[in-house]
Structure 1
Amino acid sequence: MLRLTPLRPSLASVFRELMLDGTRRARDISGMEEGFRMASVVILHKDLADSFESFCHANSGPLPLLYRSKPGEFQCPKLSGSSDIRTLCTQYYKFEKGELTGQLPSLMENTEDLSNMVTFYLKARVPLGDTDQKRAASIYKTLVPCFDVGRFQCNLVVSMRPVPEGKLEAVTQATHPAHDSHGAPIHIGHPGLIGVEDLSRPDYGDAVELSQGDVPVFWACGVTGLEAVKSCKPPLAFTHSPGCMFVSDCEKGLSTAAPSPDPIDIPNVFCISQQPLHFSLASSAAVKSIRALETQIGADPGERGIKALFVPDELLKACLSLSHAASVLITTGFPTHFNHNPPEETDGPPGAIAMAAMLQALGKQVAIVTDHRALEMNRRIIEDAVEEGILKTPVPLLSFQDSSADSALRFLCYDGDPKTPRYDHLVAIERAGMAADGNYYNMRKVNIKHLVDPIDALFTAASTIPGISTTGIGDGGNELGMGKVRDAVRRYMPQGELIACDVAADFTIIAGVSNWGGYAVACALHTLHYCPVHQRYLRKAVGPPTLTHTGPWTSALPSVRKEEKLLEILVKYGIRSGKTGNLGMEVDGLPFHDTHSSMIQSLLDITVQPLGTA
């Protein structure tokens, strides 16, 4: 419940009088607004009031509703005992049929019109830039659509504040508890990711300069209400002019709840991309759960010494990046059994399909690229997986040949244009990776290049295309993507100097068995889906939360029974255990029961318990 504590009326009154007589301009508010609660104002005909209220509730990030007046009510007793809506803002915008037709110092001459109109007071911060710069807020229109209600259909408007990278988490945690206001940032990083092309040209307010080491941080902004009025095109409407908000008699600060001690409500900030710069949020509870998954898959039953390759939080960062992706390309296939047909092993495909199932459930486009010679076999495996209920729908299968200098670019991007990537994220799981000498080696130092298509070229090309991230999942260091830990592979892994993959991924997930890494990705994506902090950030605080809605996400998780069925399918098609070459219910020489089944159940146990209870 919102608590607003009245100030001494004279303080707020003096401030309003200074604003009204022109002594202060919007850009001079810096420092003076301390102690005052501010509110944005939207005034509409009473026939549109219910629809706009629903629009506010559906988009509470930019439009946190404080008070809805009765038709013709000029006072707002909840916020001020003496103010009059016709004079309480220093400047008003007048709209007719969605067009701005006037900027008014008061609405006294519109009293008759206002008798049939309803005033909405929307909670607002004054989103100033660096106060040392003495500039008004930088406010930008985005390409992020709000949740439509009736004729109110517009994009989100945001305010921007530069924040030193080292203070991102502190600023996020400081603003997050203000659930009755704009709350935590909705985007941290490159402005182009939300459709803001030029920070030096704000749509409202002044440009704020970024210093060395600053990161642009964006909050949902109440000026979204102005854009909603434009989209509705009512015959007549009024709003406050940006920067000229209503100053209440209520104390600022006491209405904001103290930071919650509950780990499900504490945001953590992680960088998930450098090109373009992009940060994401997850709650402390979700972070703890995903770290537990990462620890679990780090078990080393084969005693390969994989702990030497471990990089903390790679599972977490990879899955945060995947959560933001709309389209994902997965590759797998390690033809280690070069004397058999097929030469593939049972490690890789199950993990790839587990990830694909969860990505499908989350509504993302997903495809698998593999060796051309193995396309038909993989097609039959996927058909059987759908029939058995392991996959909801078939996953498109692709192959890639590096036939020209721009083959990879044309494969990854529409018309070969790096500004329009076809995929947001590439994932390799137990996929043979190219060594420094251009060959591909299994763990016995056998060169299997003749069985491997040059899918590595896609990862190499992706590293030069802004907007495409990559993840490699492996258990020995010779898998695609392990180039990020190449030095550790050469130093600590058997035959590492020869077999180490030379092609890096942005994120490298190390697991005792690669399939376990794929299962953990599926589980971590499920955890993020049910993380309120991450979900709010993902939807940019617009639209209603979906956390309580029923959906296919839990049923898409890997389970012991589903993975047992899939291993039976692989064995049916002659695919063998990687370490022993046995054609049976084992992966990497380890029996499905109880080694792999126990790991799957442990990952599920971590995932399905309520966040914050671990």
Structure 2
Amino acid sequence: MLFPALKGVSRPLCCFLRWPGRLWGRTSTSTMGSGYVQANVVILPSSLADDFEAFCRANPAPLPLLHRSPPGDWGCPPLANQTDIRTDCPQYNVYEGGVLACRVSSLQLYTLQLQQMVSFYLGCSFSFERSLQAAGVPVRNIQQHRNVSMYRTSLLCAGGGPFQCPLVVTMRPVPADKLDLVAQCTHLTPQAHGAPIHIGEPALLGIQDVGKPAYGDSVKAEPGDVTVFWACGITGVEAVLSCKPSLAFTHSPGSMFITDLPDPSSSDPPTTPQLDQSPLTFLISQQPLLYSMASGAAVQPIRTLERLIGEDPGERGIQVLFIQDELLRSCLSLSHSSSVLITTGFPTHHTLNPPDETDGPPGAIAMAATLLALGKQVTMVTDQRALDMNEAIVEEAVRRGVTKTAFPLVTFQNTGPESAIHFLCHDGDPTRPRYDHLVAIERSGRAADGNYYNMRGINIKHLVDPVDDLFIAASNIPGITTTGIGDGGNELGMGKVKEAVRAHMPNGALIACDVAADFAITAGVSNWGGYAVAYGLYILSLCPIHQRYLHKGLEPTPSPTQGLESSLPSIAKEEEMLAILVKFGVRSGKTANLGMEVDGLTFHPTHSDLIARLRDCTLTHTNTHT
């Protein structure tokens, strides 16, 4: 029982509102119970009651259980006085054998059967609409005098005995500049479905035509609106359909039970001190449109990581290339991914064998280790000339414990105009991408003239395979996002900041990479960017708000695991990784020294100190907030 019994409370207005169908001939309660909690209703035979309660407990986002009645009890004292569930919804659905038999305005004809049935009252998103309006958010369904739009999704709820059904969601178009406010207001009402579980492209939920809801009315978006989806209590109706009881009742969609309880979300919007545990929204993809969500408590340390890797011990002037929150957005996107392609390799020492430098591979393997620990598929694409060496490096990294799991290494050659799309997509079908995120870290990038240059302006094109073509092709394939990590502007993906590179970096007009990534992470040393991605992913894995959003409210927040923490970069592991590269003849980028340095900076104290501070920032945060 989630609410205390109402002793001696009389709310004539609420009693009055519980009969809108008969008083005004209306069935939607979207605006009728403004200021009071509303509830979905499911009435089932007593023999199914325990199974349905377990189903609700397993799926709290769509089915927040407010009250379960004893068999044959018409009242609902924890939620309202003077009630009779047979008459207090404007309209009911009657199901026989899992088929909608009829809609009625009263269940009094079924009084005998109801004596052996149990009523469930479930939270409803109508309860938070008033608070959205009070906060200045336009609620389009209310403005248009329509019931809210409800859709079946392709997502399956956690099963519970005989109940197996898809998640149902409500949709409200929201102005893009109000998304944070909407998330923060509704986050405060877990018993009214809580914060959104998806923001963006409806097809990502399996909704093919947003103009054709399964329940409710079609609600039109205004220019600048984004489609925002919440878990919906009509999931309970789908559960009834799946179970096929001989007789069952629900409210008709939109015809809610209005309680006597004041809407708990009607207080003022969250103030600044509360925001560390409130959701913030971030655009992470335009094609398809997708926003992600994380708590302020998770966002702040990731921003600190970004500031730390932006230090410039080599005095290159990289601050001019910095774009705030590129690290955060990349980590959020990678958290949503399932299959990641990583590339690295900068053959700056064109007269030596091997020509590669020590910046890039350590950061790539650090990211791979954490992505693998999170259950992602990881593949690395490398130059054909370096394939054998890189396979041996990864094998040695596994043997020495730098990463627990090996991953496949592949190569790419441009053999025709369709080569890239066939590499990226199953059977060359752009609707079936093989990878959903590409990451380039310290990978030589193609300049505007088609050549590849090191920082000295020397053309090294003969040592580089055309991996850039994959990033170019990915920009036109919905569902593939890209990240570039660099420290000078001539790296793959840094074309996003090419104008700043040309204007401010040495030899910038010549060497600037012309190929952009969706996210361009600038670091004092590129390896640091890879480390920061690994740490950022770990922070997000422990953020309840992000995990709830990531799993659409259907899975419990994963608990911290020793395995995941052990995947993170550490001073010992990164020192071991650098020693492996030296063993294979890979040299420091700036000096060509075959020793324990990267970009002319010795591992101790420069890199070891930075790793320590990144790790401390991450673990201090997670120990405080978990």
TM-score by length of 1: 0.96
Query: Residue 456 and residue 497 in structure 1: after superposition, are their counterparts in 2 closer, same or farther (change >3 A)?
Result: same
Partner of 2:18 in structure 1? 16
Query: What CA distance in whole angstroms lies between the structure 2 residues aligned with 1:186 and 1:56?
Result: 17
Residue 441 of structure 1 aligns to a residue whose secondary structure is coil
Stretch moving more, 102-111 or 265-274: 102-111
Residue 368 of structure 1 aligns to a residue whose secondary structure is strand
- Residue pair 1:333, 1:345 contacting (<8 A) in 2 also: yes
- Residue pair 1:401, 1:454 contacting (<8 A) in 2 also: yes
Residue 605 of structure 1 aligns to a residue whose secondary structure is helix
Query: What CA distance in whole angstroms lies between the structure 2 residues aligned with 1:99 and 1:304?
Result: 70
Alignment of 1:453-492 (within 5 A): 453-492=465-504
Partner of 1:105 in structure 2? 105
- Residue pair 1:37, 1:252 contacting (<8 A) in 2 also: yes
Once the two structures are TM-superposed, the CA of residue 359 in structure 1 deviates from its matched residue by 0.6
Percent sequence identity over matched residues?
A: 59
2:192 to 149, 168, 181: 181
Query: Residue 67 and residue 551 in structure 1: after superposition, are their counterparts in 2 closer, same or farther (change >3 A)?
Result: farther
Say yes or no: does 1:114 pair with 2:114: yes
- Residue pair 1:286, 1:612 contacting (<8 A) in 2 also: no
- Residue pair 1:177, 1:256 contacting (<8 A) in 2 also: no
Partner of 1:36 in structure 2? 36
Stretch moving more, 274-283 or 306-315: 274-283
Say yes or no: does 1:421 pair with 2:422: no
Query: Residue 335 and residue 120 in structure 1: after superposition, are their counterparts in 2 closer, same or farther (change >3 A)?
Result: same
Once the two structures are TM-superposed, the CA of residue 30 in structure 1 deviates from its matched residue by 4.7
Query: What CA distance in whole angstroms lies between the structure 2 residues aligned with 1:289 and 1:152?
Result: 41
Residue 485 of structure 1 aligns to a residue whose secondary structure is helix
Partner of 2:239 in structure 1? 228
1:583 to 568, 590, 594: 594
- Residue pair 2:293, 2:549 contacting (<8 A) in 1 also: yes
Once the two structures are TM-superposed, the CA of residue 101 in structure 1 deviates from its matched residue by 2.6
Once the two structures are TM-superposed, the CA of residue 24 in structure 1 deviates from its matched residue by 3.3
Partner of 1:51 in structure 2? 51
Residue 160 of structure 1 aligns to a residue whose secondary structure is strand
Say yes or no: does 1:550 pair with 2:561: yes
Partner of 1:338 in structure 2? 350
Query: Residue 445 and residue 18 in structure 1: after superposition, are their counterparts in 2 closer, same or farther (change >3 A)?
Result: closer
Partner of 1:61 in structure 2? 61
Residue deviations 1:376-432, cap 9 Å, x none?
Answer: 111111111112222222111111111111111111111111111111110000001
5+ residue gaps, structure 1, are none
- Residue pair 1:264, 1:532 contacting (<8 A) in 2 also: no
Query: What CA distance in whole angstroms lies between the structure 2 residues aligned with 1:343 and 1:26?
Result: 74
1:295 to 304, 307, 310: 307
Once the two structures are TM-superposed, the CA of residue 36 in structure 1 deviates from its matched residue by 2.7
Query: What CA distance in whole angstroms lies between the structure 2 residues aligned with 1:258 and 1:213?
Result: 22
1:190 to 201, 211, 231: 201
Match of 1:52, as an amino acid?
F
Match of 2:102, as an amino acid?
G
Residue deviations 1:55-76, cap 9 Å, x none?
Answer: 2122111111101112222211
- Residue pair 1:41, 1:122 contacting (<8 A) in 2 also: yes
Aligned residues: 611
Residue deviations 1:165-189, cap 9 Å, x none?
Answer: 1111112111111123211111111
- Residue pair 1:433, 1:456 contacting (<8 A) in 2 also: yes
Partner of 1:270 in structure 2? 282
Residue deviations 1:270-314, cap 9 Å, x none?
Answer: 111111111111111111100100000011111111111111110
Partner of 1:208 in structure 2? 219
Query: Residue 604 and residue 320 in structure 1: after superposition, are their counterparts in 2 closer, same or farther (change >3 A)?
Result: same
What's the Cα RMSD here? Answer: 2.0
2:371 to 359, 375, 390: 359
Query: Residue 351 and residue 121 in structure 1: after superposition, are their counterparts in 2 closer, same or farther (change >3 A)?
Result: same
Stretch moving more, 263-272 or 411-420: 263-272
Once the two structures are TM-superposed, the CA of residue 3 in structure 1 deviates from its matched residue by 6.7
Partner of 1:395 in structure 2? 407
- Residue pair 2:20, 2:32 contacting (<8 A) in 1 also: no
Query: What CA distance in whole angstroms lies between the structure 2 residues aligned with 1:124 and 1:600?
Result: 47
Residue deviations 1:478-535, cap 9 Å, x none?
Answer: 1000100001111111111111100000100000000000000000011111112111
Say yes or no: does 1:147 pair with 2:123: no
Match of 2:182, as an amino acid?
V
Query: What CA distance in whole angstroms lies between the structure 2 residues aligned with 1:134 and 1:7?
Result: 32
Once the two structures are TM-superposed, the CA of residue 258 in structure 1 deviates from its matched residue by 7.2
Partner of 1:496 in structure 2? 508
Once the two structures are TM-superposed, the CA of residue 563 in structure 1 deviates from its matched residue by 0.9
Query: What CA distance in whole angstroms lies between the structure 1 residues aligned with 2:572 and 2:562?
Result: 21
Query: Residue 612 and residue 264 in structure 1: after superposition, are their counterparts in 2 closer, same or farther (change >3 A)?
Result: farther
Partner of 2:135 in structure 1? none
Once the two structures are TM-superposed, the CA of residue 91 in structure 1 deviates from its matched residue by 2.0
Partner of 1:440 in structure 2? 452
Query: What CA distance in whole angstroms lies between the structure 2 residues aligned with 1:189 and 1:490?
Result: 35
Residue deviations 1:421-445, cap 9 Å, x none?
Answer: 1111100000010001100011111
Residue 564 of structure 2 aligns to a residue whose secondary structure is coil
Residue deviations 1:145-202, cap 9 Å, x none?
Answer: 2222223222211111111111111121111111232111111111111111111111
2:327 to 315, 319, 323: 315
Say yes or no: does 1:135 pair with 2:136: no
- Residue pair 1:177, 1:258 contacting (<8 A) in 2 also: no
Query: Residue 210 and residue 592 in structure 1: after superposition, are their counterparts in 2 closer, same or farther (change >3 A)?
Result: same
Residue 371 of structure 2 aligns to a residue whose secondary structure is helix
Query: Residue 4 and residue 600 in structure 1: after superposition, are their counterparts in 2 closer, same or farther (change >3 A)?
Result: farther
Once the two structures are TM-superposed, the CA of residue 552 in structure 1 deviates from its matched residue by 2.1
Residue 89 of structure 1 aligns to a residue whose secondary structure is coil
Residue 261 of structure 2 aligns to a residue whose secondary structure is coil
Query: What CA distance in whole angstroms lies between the structure 2 residues aligned with 1:497 and 1:610?
Result: 41
Match of 1:276, as an amino acid?
P
TM-score by length of 2: 0.94
Match of 2:209, as an amino acid?
D
Residue 250 of structure 1 aligns to a residue whose secondary structure is strand
Query: What CA distance in whole angstroms lies between the structure 2 residues aligned with 1:340 and 1:597?
Result: 27
Partner of 2:73 in structure 1? 73
- Residue pair 1:344, 1:576 contacting (<8 A) in 2 also: yes
Once the two structures are TM-superposed, the CA of residue 347 in structure 1 deviates from its matched residue by 0.6
Query: What CA distance in whole angstroms lies between the structure 1 residues aligned with 2:347 and 2:208?
Result: 46
Query: Residue 421 and residue 346 in structure 1: after superposition, are their counterparts in 2 closer, same or farther (change >3 A)?
Result: same
